[in-house]
Amino acid sequence: MTRWRYDPRSDFIAAVKAGVVYCVLVFGIGFCLGIVRVLVVAPHLGETVAVALEAPVMLASSWAVSLWCVRRVHLRAAVAPRLLMGVIALAVLLFLEAGLSAIVFGRPIAAWFAQYRTVPGAIGLGAQCAFGLVPVLQAWWRPG
């Protein structure tokens, strides 16, 4: 009879997989919402209000996508693998955003960093940091 043993490599692999999938799915949702924000909402309400309205929707989406990802890859509800998942997801997200900004919109990386000094940029950065913490918060949160 074989006994089940804890393997930290499986946690690492599952956390990386979950983090990448989590990021890609939320990035896709954010890309679609960003189009609506820029083309529809911001011209009428301003960029700051548009970002402030988009952030809670993105965080709710992040919560749902994170739950789906951790269930899909069977990631333990321990802080370490969930933190790694969030760090991987945030790093990939920032890399994708910087690349999109540079390649698609032709903005230098310095301009991409400079956007975070604006109010809408700070709201967005706060939401991105919260996005990275969602898997950890879910590990701590126990319903009922």
Q: Are 19 and 87 in contact (CB under 8 A)?
A: yes
**Residue 117 burial by Cβ neighbours in a 10 Å radius (0-12, 13-18, 19+):** exposed
Please give the average per-residue pLDDT across 105-126, as a whole number: 95
Q: Would you state the pLDDT for residue 9? A: 80
- Determine the angle formed by the axes of helices 8-36 and 47-72, rounding to 10 degrees: 150
pTM of the model as a whole: 0.90
Q: Is the pLDDT of residue 138 over 60?
A: yes
Q: Would you state the pLDDT for residue 1? A: 46
Alpha carbons 21 and 3: distance in angstroms, whole number: 31
Alpha carbons 86 and 36: distance in angstroms, whole number: 26
